[in-house]
């Protein structure tokens, strides 16, 4: 029996995945050439280490942006969370 179709991805989710995919793809290309990754940017900071740091910043920043967009989109809370908030349960 086939599974039900999944809901379509939101435009914000597509943007988040696309940006992170491009950054990851460039990182993979850089990792294929050790001579590119060894280029010194500043002191002991190399291009490979700088790109890894850029990947981290893009991932964390993109996730923060996506979470803010999702929270402010006006979508209703999931039923489990809404029910627990309605009853007044505390953590």
Q: Would you write out the chain's pLDDT as a tens digit for each of its 91 residues?
A: 677 776 666 788 888 888 888 988 888 888 888 787 788 888 888 888 888 899 999 989 988 988 888 887 765 555 555 555 555 556 6
- Residue 60's pLDDT is 92
Q: What is the pTM of this model?
A: 0.62
Confidence at residue 85, expressed as pLDDT on a 0 to 100 scale: 58
Return the exposure string of 24-61: e unless at least 16 CB atoms fall within 10 Å of the residue's CB, then b: eeeeeebeeeeeebeeeeeeeebebebbeeeeeebeee
Alpha-carbon dihedral 12, 57, 36, 17, rounded to 10 degrees:
-20
């Amino acid at each position: 029996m086939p599974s039900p179709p999944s809901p379509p991805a939101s435009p914000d989710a597509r943007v988040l995945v696309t940006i992170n995919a491009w950054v990851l793809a460039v990182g993979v290309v850089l990792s294929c050439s050790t001579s590119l990754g060894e280029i010194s940017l500043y002191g002991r900071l190399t291009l490979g280490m700088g790109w890894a740091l850029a990947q981290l910043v893009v991932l964390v920043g993109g996730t923060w942006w996506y979470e803010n967009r999702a929270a402010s989109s006006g979508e209703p809370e999931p039923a489990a969370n809404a029910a627990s908030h309605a009853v007044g349960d505390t953590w």
